[in-house]
Amino acid sequence: MNVTAKFNLVSPWGPAGDQGKAIEDICRGFDESGCQTLMGVTGSGKTFTVANVIQRLGKPTLVMAHNKTLAAQLYSEFRDFFPDNAVHYFVSYYDYYQPEAYVPSSDTYIEKDASINDRIEKLRLAATKALIEREDVIVVASVSCIYGLGKKATYEDAVIPFAVGDKWDRRVFFEALLSGYYVRNDLELSPGKFRARGDVVEIFPSYSDTCLRVVFYDDEIESIEETDPVSGKSLLRKDRASIYPAQHYVTSDEAVAGAMNSIWDEMNGQVELFKSQGKYLEAQRIESRTRYDMEMLSETGYCSGIENYSRYLDGRSEGDPPGTLIDFFPDDFLLVVDESHITLPQIRGMFNGDRARKETLVRHGFRLPSCLDNRPLRWEEFVKYMKKTLFLSATPGDWEVSVSGQVVEQIIRPTGIPDPEVLLVPATGQIDDLLDRIREVIERDERVLVTTLTKKGSEDLGGYLKDLGIKAKYIHSDLNTFERAELIKELREGHTSVLVGVNLLREGMDLPEVSLVAILDADREGFLRSYRSLVQVMGRAARNVDSKVILYADEITDSIAKAMEETGRRRAIQIDYNEKNGITPRTVVSKIRSLLPEELMDKSEPKGADLWEESLVDLSEKDLERLMWEAVEKLQFERAAGIRDMLSETKGGAMLRVAGNSYRRGKRT
């Protein structure tokens, strides 16, 4: 399928610095090779370069990032660049996910437990709908897009198209909606539900912000309207419409019936295998669990863990790859891998981790061997999709460089800001030195990023700084997506002056207010202090004209030496360019917004919290203490903690500094 879509790039500026050359080189390179690498320094406008490449090539595009937060930032940027095109967001819809597992050493079985975010699921469904209907589509996704999603053909077969004048028996129409996993609820109309009142059927698609009102006259569709879900007001009259399934994994009665014999045969074979090995407990376990699942499937068409039978339900052979988001793209789509030095290793490792966990379940009779085909793509399967791929990184890995037709450098920043000055400071007594530098930065109303080696270290240091009266917070992977996005927004707005983290601060964050990046224990050679990690961390300070990077180290490791050499090379190229073109460096100015899509953010709660905090600003310390203890008595612990923090700031950090014990003067982290 040869697709040439029209992408309308909207931007108040054009290519600057070496962006124009990079765009030309990449587009020309795709005529000769399927893979290209853009080695772009932080702040050089890689996203804008990619946007121009997308416009020039005119291909449906999948942009892959290694975490949700970075994917959200890219989604927001591409949506601004292409307001007239379909830009979508596709990440894992789990706020919390505990996979099914078994620990043989302690004989502990852990059931699957998950919390699904309905707002993210809505965006996922909207993305696949757009890919089916349109060609001018950009989907920004995390690496979760290589996990099984269900067969595209089965999903498309479940779409319900209808038009004004069509003959539909209302009962058949309802059955079609139920088969698409919509639920009838005549009292409340919410996403994924429909209701019927006389000749009027109202459907709230799971992927939409509006409802559809279908009016019947006997067995004929008389009118179709798009309506507001709250007021019920008609927004648009339509001649035709389609309802897409309320979830991606779709089965049918025929598929379930066809799978039963195969599941039964596999179960019997596994039971006999266990008995022949003298594993009678495992034999009894797999038989009872599978029988229960089969009864649920035959009665309701669904069972807990239905995805473990996806090989049979999808009609796949053993070892066949699962259906994923990538199958919704045409053959000649453009794949963009952002921060490829991190994203590609993640993709390589996902299959092995998933396989090891499930093999343990199979060996001990908790799952049939066919569950192994409910999996992410293998690396060799994913590589087959790289027909037209652009790798992006300030520090590309060896593999992407080796398979690329060319490596295009983009070193010049349009703002004229060179790579930051890098200072080496002894690690002994690093916290004393850091405190002095933090206070200097805060006086200039700028921000600080501090990287530690462990999560515990980031929590302890964050608490210690806070008790000293510094507006500091920690950030790491234990915080959920929304909390991390909000922390970064608070840093930019000035509600937080210092953000302490481990490795989540390295890639993709646009933080022009940050003028100091401090790397504690920089000489502890390892993944977090490797050459690529150090260069990425240094890049966080490359959007502010007064930026500095402090490496706290008692010795110069090979990684430190190489990182400083490369940073110095890039800094010299930028300074030379500035002098030749009469450019005065200027700090980046960018709009402060949440890193997550606006439709994901629940704006009512933060607004109420802000108003509540504002009402306490003028209260005395005595009144604040009284309100804090009242909140404790009412079990309102979050509110009590908020008042405690206000008290801590009011008293200049005179409260107990328990969190800072591991960061006392002269002590290394």
Q: What are phi and psi of 57, to 5 degrees?
A: -80, -30
Q: What is the mean pLDDT of residues 317-322?
A: 93
Residue 405 has pLDDT above 70, yes or no: yes
According to the 3-state scheme, what is the secondary structure of 178-208? HHCCCEECCCCCCCCEEEEECCEEEEECCCC
Q: What is the mean pLDDT of residues 130-157?
A: 93
pLDDT given for residue 546 in this prediction: 85
Question: Which CATH architecture fits 160-243?
Answer: 2-Layer Sandwich (3.30)
* 421-601 has the same fold as 19-152+317-410: yes
pLDDT given for residue 1 in this prediction: 44
Q: What is the mean pLDDT of residues 517-541?
A: 88
Confidence of residue 648 (pLDDT cuts 50, 70, 90): low
* pLDDT tens for each residue of 253-281: 888 888 999 999 999 999 999 999 999 99
Structure tokens belonging to residue 291: 């029988």
Question: What single DSSP character describes residue 618?
Answer: T
What's the rounded Cα separation, in Å, for the pair 102 and 175?
39
**Residue 553 C-alpha from the chain's centroid:** 33
Helix (H, G, I), strand (E, B) or coil at 272: helix
Q: What is the mean pLDDT of residues 345-354?
A: 91
Domain coordinates of the chain in residue numbers? Answer: 19-152+317-410, 160-243, 421-601
Q: What is the mean pLDDT of residues 509-532?
A: 87
Residue 658 in marked binding region: no
Residue 397 in marked binding region: no
| Degrees, nearest 5: CA angle 313-318-322 | 60
pLDDT given for residue 504 in this prediction: 54
pLDDT given for residue 359 in this prediction: 95
> Which residue intervals of 30-157 are DSSP H helices?
46-57, 68-81, 118-133, 152-157
What's the rounded Cα separation, in Å, for the pair 375 and 377?
7
Confidence of residue 290 (pLDDT cuts 50, 70, 90): very high
Residue 661 has pLDDT above 50, yes or no: no
Number of helices (H) and strands (E), helices first, in the chain?
Answer: 20, 25
Where is average pLDDT lowest: 154-168, 199-213, 598-612?
598-612
| Percentage of the chain modeled with pLDDT above 90 | 62
Q: What is the mean pLDDT of residues 555-584?
A: 92
Query: Which CATH topology does 19-152+317-410 take?
Result: Rossmann fold (3.40.50)
Residue 230 in marked binding region: no
Confidence of residue 487 (pLDDT cuts 50, 70, 90): confident
Give the residue with greater pLDDT, 97 vs 246. Answer: 246
pLDDT given for residue 639 in this prediction: 65
What's the rounded Cα separation, in Å, for the pair 458 and 442?
19
pLDDT given for residue 432 in this prediction: 92
Residue 37 in marked binding region: no
Helix (H, G, I), strand (E, B) or coil at 133: helix
pTM, 2 dp: 0.80
What's the rounded Cα separation, in Å, for the pair 568 and 573?
9
Residue 180 in marked binding region: no
The matching CATH number, chosen from 1.20.1740.10, 3.90.1150.10, 3.40.50.300, 3.30.450.20, for 421-601 is 3.40.50.300
Name the amino acid, one letter, at 49: T
Residue 6, CB half-sphere, CA atoms under 13 Å: how many?
Answer: 2
What's the rounded Cα separation, in Å, for the pair 478 and 314?
35
Residue 47 in marked binding region: yes
With both helix axes pointing from N to C terminus, report the angle between 280-300 and 253-276 in degrees, rounded to the nearest 10.
Answer: 170
Q: What is the mean pLDDT of residues 348-352?
A: 91
Confidence of residue 620 (pLDDT cuts 50, 70, 90): low
Where is average pLDDT lowest: 145-154, 331-340, 477-486?
477-486
Confidence of residue 509 (pLDDT cuts 50, 70, 90): low
What's the rounded Cα separation, in Å, for the pair 368 and 290?
8
What's the rounded Cα separation, in Å, for the pair 253 and 257?
6
pLDDT given for residue 632 in this prediction: 62
Residue 395 in marked binding region: no
Q: What is the mean pLDDT of residues 315-326?
A: 93
Residue 662 in marked binding region: no
Residue 637 has pLDDT above 70, yes or no: no
pLDDT given for residue 4 in this prediction: 67
Structure tokens belonging to residue 321: 């790859």
Structure tokens belonging to residue 380: 């060799």
Provide the mean pLDDT of the chain: 86
